[in-house]
Amino acid sequence: MTDDELLRYSRHILLEEIGVEGQERLSRGRALVIGAGGLGSPVALYLAGAGIGSITLVDGDTVDLTNLQRQIAHSQARVGQPKVESARQAMLALNATTHVRTVEQRADAALLGELVAASDVAIDCSDNFATRQALNAACVRHRVPLVSGAAIRFDGQVAVFDSRAADAPCYACVFPPDAPVEETRCAVMGVFAPLVGIIGSIQAAEALKLLAGVGEPLRGRLSMLDARRMEWNEIRVPRNPRCPVCGER
């Protein structure tokens, strides 16, 4: 590491669990972030600030004035810009050494298969069930850990689905692809601004732990937050041996 890197990442390096070797693993890490909105904003900023070597950011939307209440990677001056480009500017302002690849389109199964295969961790910051299922299927197929998060109104949840562990569930074990789902959008239901920051920050933390190889990830556990009471609940989620996505792995 260069002297500048040792100084920039000194607070990570001082952590016994990370140190120089862990920080070097982060610098070699390849992260895929699906969504550059409320959850994707803190994820992208923290990953860039922490020195992840390569970050691919996928989103087909543009910055809207209503986003600014909670999507901290964007600014009023960038309203109308593609979200991936706006977020890229914010990330590089924090850390110009991080390589940021932007993909300005809605993620489909073919694209996700290609991007997941070239990543070490995938972070789901999307806002729809179909994308979450397609990303999970790609992660299971390529054995790439998935950090999943969701937030609406005052309620949030986060979990890690890591198909590298034989007993670990995938997203579809907990949320079956054929289950009836009523999509909820913050444009209709609303979302408490700091909630996406809380959940997104935890997603970033879990991704960094996975890339650095430290700590115990939220594997097989679903953490749920009621921000009205600022109360956390956690449930254990077992692998479903009959899961249509990971049941035969």
For the segment 117-164, what is each residue's pLDDT rounded down to a tens digit?
Answer: 999 999 999 999 999 999 999 999 999 999 999 999 999 999 999 999
pLDDT given at position 129: 93
pLDDT for the residue numbered 249: 60
Amino acid at 167: D
Count of C-beta atoms within a 10 Å radius of residue 40: 29
* 66-84 pLDDT, tens digit each: 999 999 999 999 999 999 9
* pLDDT of residue 184 exceeding 90: no
Domains of the chain: 21-236 (3.40.50.720)
pLDDT of res. 234: 97
Label residues 178-201 b or e (16+ Cβ within 10 Å = b): eeeeeeeebeeeebbeebbbbbbb
Where is average pLDDT lowest: 7-11, 91-95, 136-140, 176-180? 176-180
Give tens-digit pLDDT for 17-49: 999 999 999 999 999 999 999 999 999 999 999
- pTM comes to 0.95
Give the chain's mean pLDDT. Answer: 95
Q: What is the pLDDT of residue 5?
A: 95
